[in-house]
């Protein structure tokens, strides 16, 4: 039996990655070396990374909110900026909250919320079957359910009016701007997870339009967007009967629009303006 080839020296790996345009070549080399099971495995991983495959797809996981989230090839890689969405949602949720994660991708947001909160009832949805398979692995520990389908369509009807926290990291890149994204995203991530239509807001408008039907009174919708798009999202949220506000993080370059469903009003003549709004839809 021939001996296994000698492992690649770290300096050679760093040089190779740097030549391929990897800005954090030293850190990536360390991760690849620690993840490789054999010298041959390491060489193959370095080749895949140098060819442009996202590091997370090479490793098979991404670090997100202190967790290792499984990320299969072809699945959207969770961004660190989206940790701000998780923080905002976690700060608003009550114990035993009913949480829905739309456009869930790997299920990173839902999985992180399940860890941050006390015994959530978690549901996640994505249109991509590859993402759904990946998400099921990531939310299994929380007992979450993952559905394949278009936004709210596959969710159980019994959730209508019961959702405490509805999060959506939907695509919001305008179609013409997709070509400007780094090749790692443009080539290796699903177009449907990036392209939000002409102004980037096609999917988000659909998420917002149906949110009042699913939110519990006093429930929250949280969507990630860009600072430039936030005013349009705020208008859309308000137009659909939710009370909007914007949260942002300079540190993570993150913007989240939050819509609150008003609590039901009771008493003679009180009525419920939101219910009237929904009945007219």
| Per-residue pLDDT at 265 | 47
183-208 average pLDDT score: 90
CATH of domain 80-279: 3.40.50.150
List, by residue range, all CATH 3.40.50.150 domains of the chain. Answer: 80-279
Q: What are the tokens at 107?
A: 């299920």
Mean pLDDT check: name the lowest of 109-118, 125-134, 258-267.
Answer: 258-267
| Per-residue pLDDT at 184 | 79
Return the beta strands (E) in the chain as ranges: 61-64, 67-70, 98-102, 121-126, 145-148, 163-168, 215-225, 243-249, 254-260
Mean pLDDT check: name the lowest of 61-65, 140-144, 155-159, 230-234.
Answer: 140-144
| Per-residue pLDDT at 94 | 87
Q: Who's near 76: CB < 8 A, 6+ residues apart?
A: 105, 106, 131, 189, 190, 193, 194
Q: Is the pLDDT of residue 134 over 90?
A: yes
| Per-residue pLDDT at 68 | 93
| Per-residue pLDDT at 81 | 95
pLDDT band at 274 (very low <50, low <70, confident <90, very high): very low
Q: pTM, whole model, 2 decimals? A: 0.86
153-163 average pLDDT score: 96
């Amino acid at each position: 039996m021939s001996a296994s080839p000698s492992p690649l020296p770290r300096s050679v790996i760093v040089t190779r990655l740097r030549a391929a345009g990897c800005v954090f070549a030293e850190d990536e080399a360390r991760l690849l070396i620690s993840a490789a099971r054999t010298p041959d495995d390491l060489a193959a991983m370095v080749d895949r990374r140098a060819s442009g495959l996202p590091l997370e797809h090479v490793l098979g996981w991404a670090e997100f909110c202190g967790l290792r989230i499984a990320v299969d090839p072809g699945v959207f890689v969770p961004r660190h900026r989206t940790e701000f969405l998780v923080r905002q949602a976690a700060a608003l949720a009550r114990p035993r909250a009913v949480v829905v994660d739309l456009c869930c991708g790997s299920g990173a947001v839902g999985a992180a919320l399940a860890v941050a909160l006390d015994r959530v009832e978690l549901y996640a949805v994505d249109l991509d079957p590859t993402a759904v398979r990946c998400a099921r692995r990531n939310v299994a520990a929380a007992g979450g359910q993952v559905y394949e389908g278009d936004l709210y369509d596959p969710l159980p009807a019994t959730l209508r009016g019961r959702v405490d926290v509805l999060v959506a990291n939907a695509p919001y890149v305008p179609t013409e701007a997709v070509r400007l994204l780094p090749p790692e995203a443009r080539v290796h991530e699903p177009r449907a997870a990036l392209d939000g239509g002409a102004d980037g807001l096609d999917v988000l408008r659909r998420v917002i339009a149906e949110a009042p039907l699913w939110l519990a009174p006093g429930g929250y919708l949280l969507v990630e967007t860009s600072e430039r798009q936030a005013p349009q999202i705020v208008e859309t949220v308000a137009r659909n009967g939710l009370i909007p506000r914007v949260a942002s993080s300079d540190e993570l370059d993150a913007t989240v629009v939050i819509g609150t469903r008003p609590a039901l009003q009771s008493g003679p003549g009180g009525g419920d303006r939101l219910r009237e709004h929904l009945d007219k839809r």
